[in-house]
Structure 1
Amino acid sequence: MPAHLLTSIQSTPAGLTLAELLAQHPAVARRTAQRWLGQLVADGRVAAQGAGRARRYIARGARVAAAAVDRFPASIPLSADSLDVLAYVDQPLQARKPVGYQRDFLDTYQPNVTWYLSAPLRRQLHKMGHTAQADAPAGTYSRAILNRLLIDLSWASSQLEGNTYSRLDTRALIEHGQVAQGKAAMETQMILNHKTAIELLVANVEGSAGTAGFDRYTLLNLHAALAENLLPNPADEGRIRQHGVQIGKSVFRPLSVPQQVDEALALVLHKAGQIADPFEQSFFMLVHVPYLQPFADINKRTSRLAANLPLFRANLCPLTFVDVPEAAYSRAILGVYELTRVELLRDVFVWAYERSTQEYLAIKQDLAEPDPTRLAYRDVIKQTLHAVVTHPGEAALARITQAVATRVPEPDRAAVQALVVDELRRLHEGVLARYGLRPSEFVAWKAGTADALLSNK
């Protein structure tokens, strides 16, 4: 009998997906759960909403509560234009006109001439996001807040995709490699992928030598980091899609010809790179990457992280999407998809950025300055650590001493060697990507050299 599944569904007003149900009831086989859910739907005790992996099962008595949860939040102030967009996308699917990708929406945008964000609004955003590191080398602020940023942005962006990890769960996973109990493997992978992708952006934007920009290489690799182990076809990770896609709960039909998608993406990146204002750049990517749907999936996640790149460069507060309701974000994106109108997304963007800045400016006094030695010898530390772990049969301290002596001036050698040892002692599975390591290499190292090194305190 599926009574225990029904109890779980009834206790969650917004309903549960199949993956969420299986996470709560790991002893139930997937096919069995599907059969029981079909029976509950047929009996009229549960309603199924949505399609595919996004389908949610809602107890019939909870439908009113679920509708309230799905309502656009009144706490986000909207302009009259935004209310028009909201009124349209809130209509049933059958009342909205099917529409394809409108290339003119992109073609008519002229960088630094066309503005999605008005001059007064841009000034307001700059004032909100200003930090004490504004005149420091690019990426200084994002490095200083990296530990907090990894947790907030990974958690909030994943929540917008239905991930049920809590903020505390996310922190435990990112800082200690501790997987939350009762969560689907896909949810854990999503969080870790966000972490890797954020580290990729922050590492590449550092200082005047930063390489991350709005170019094909960065966007494709950002997508690959976010998509790792989450797509049905691994070949789609970091690759322009080779097939058509459909958008759930929308009448929008994206481009289906790969060559046209590729050409449009090249133009998106070219125009984004020409935009002078970091907030306009950020919003432009938030609009045009999901609208184009250049990848088989994970387009919105890619756009949310890409939208932070110009903010990292300018040492502005990040846009973490903390507290952004999915009901608000999804409707705002629908306005872009179906009407090529940005007003609703713009209002959500401004509200979300204000929430983000409140979080980060409130903790600015607690930010520790980056360790100058760790910063100056970042590459040496990473490469030495990688070499130690990938050669578990060799004497770790001897290898560290030799590497440091070869690449570090004598006055800094002791400090750098201590930093490498400290990094090794804190190494866990949640940070392996930072050092280019595979889990198997980490396990082999822990079984050998690690014990002697870690005990030598």
Structure 2
Amino acid sequence: QRYFGIIDSKVRQLMSIPKGNSALRRVMEETYYHHIYHTVAIEGNTLTLSEIRHIIETRYAVPGKSLQEQNEAIGVDAAMKFINTTLLSRTGTITVGDILEIHRRVLGYVDPVEGGRLRTSQVFVGHHIPPHPQDLQRHMEELVQWLNSEEALQLHPVEYAALAHYKLVYVHPFVDGNGRTSRLLMNLVLMQARYPPVTIRKEQRAEYYAALDTAHE
């Protein structure tokens, strides 16, 4: 609770800055590119921050770099734009369809067949065995039911976002892109509550995965 108080104080300070403030706008732009960089780097993508900025701003490929890695960055950019322009401007609950649409953009440039589609094969994530493919639709419906429940909405936004992230990772509904989609869902929940989005840095990779392993246990 003490940490939530510290976070809330910092958020209030941030929200007191006028939206037209030029320094705030620059920070928000930099934060956008930093999120794309770290969310793909945490999964092993080797693109640099400047290369990702170049790809997003120009849509030109970086010579000598993997096209798959570049398409991963473009996919996260497309998903973030969808969240910022569509989901945040809409009233109402989060749906299974919303999560599938986020994932369709995350994976759509790398694997358009699997993008936005629940997996049809069993996967194993370390010591964690996610639900069987036949049970995924039920698990996803239970997830969004929880996301929109009074129980969830009464939690502190940071706790709510962290649990939303974990619950989607636990289900692991997709062949690929589960981590990126879960981190985007986490930030959707935060931004709906008027909190700034969070970037889990690549330097925090070991700590991040250790926390997920502990939660699985």
What is the deviation of 1:190? 0.4
In structure 1, what is the equivalent of residue 95 of structure 2? 215
Deviations 1:185-220 (A, max 9, x none): 1100000001000111111244xx524752112111
In structure 2, what is the equivalent of residue 430 of structure 1? none
Q: Does 1:242 align with 2:124?
A: no
What is the deviation of 1:267? 1.2
In structure 1, what is the equivalent of residue 54 of structure 2? 172
What is the deviation of 1:308? 0.4
CA contact (8 A) 1:240 1:296 kept: yes
Q: Does 1:314 align with 2:189?
A: no
CA contact (8 A) 1:130 1:317 kept: no
- Per the alignment, do residues 265 and 177 of structure 1 end up closer, same or farther by CA in structure 2, a change over 3 Å counting? same
Mind listing any 5+ residue stretches in structure 2 that lack a counterpart? 19-23
- Per the alignment, do residues 176 and 131 of structure 1 end up closer, same or farther by CA in structure 2, a change over 3 Å counting? farther
What is the deviation of 1:162? 0.3
In structure 2, what is the equivalent of residue 269 of structure 1? 144
Q: Does 1:193 align with 2:68?
A: no
CA contact (8 A) 2:106 2:181 kept: yes
- Which amino acid in 1 is paired with 2:129? R
Q: Distance in 2 between matches of 1:144 and 1:312?
A: 18
Q: Distance in 1 between matches of 2:60 and 2:183?
A: 25
In structure 2, what is the equivalent of residue 122 of structure 1? 4
Q: Distance in 2 between matches of 1:166 and 1:251?
A: 31
Q: Distance in 2 between matches of 1:322 and 1:314?
A: 22
- Which amino acid in 1 is paired with 2:76? H
In structure 2, what is the equivalent of residue 301 of structure 1? 180
In structure 1, what is the equivalent of residue 21 of structure 2? none
Match of 2:158 among 279, 287, 302: 279
Secondary structure of the corresponding residue to residue 74 of structure 2: helix
- Per the alignment, do residues 273 and 286 of structure 1 end up closer, same or farther by CA in structure 2, a change over 3 Å counting? same
Mind listing any 5+ residue stretches in structure 1 that lack a counterpart? 1-118, 137-141, 340-457
CA contact (8 A) 1:226 1:298 kept: yes
Q: Distance in 2 between matches of 1:134 and 1:147?
A: 18
What is the deviation of 1:315? 2.8
What is the deviation of 1:333? 2.0
Q: Distance in 2 between matches of 1:212 and 1:200?
A: 16
Q: Please show how residues 52-451 of structure 1 align to structure 2 within 5 Å.
A: 119-133=1-15, 147-206=29-88, 209-211=89-91, 213-231=93-111, 234-247=112-125, 250-258=126-134, 260-274=135-149, 275-276=152-153, 277-337=156-216, 339=217
Bigger RCO of structures 1 and 2 (CA < 8 A, at least 6 apart): 2
Secondary structure of the corresponding residue to residue 156 of structure 1: helix
Deviations 1:334-356 (A, max 9, x none): 2233x1xxxxxxxxxxxxxxxxx
Give the RMSD, CA atoms, in angstroms: 2.7
- Per the alignment, do residues 176 and 146 of structure 1 end up closer, same or farther by CA in structure 2, a change over 3 Å counting? farther
- Which amino acid in 2 is paired with 1:251? H
CA contact (8 A) 1:222 1:238 kept: yes
Q: Distance in 2 between matches of 1:270 and 1:144?
A: 37
Identity over the aligned pairs, expressed in percent? 20
Deviations 1:101-131 (A, max 9, x none): xxxxxxxxxxxxxxxxxx3332232223335
What is the deviation of 1:331? 2.2
- Which amino acid in 2 is paired with 1:265? M
Normalised by the length of structure 1, the TM-score is 0.42
Secondary structure of the corresponding residue to residue 252 of structure 1: coil
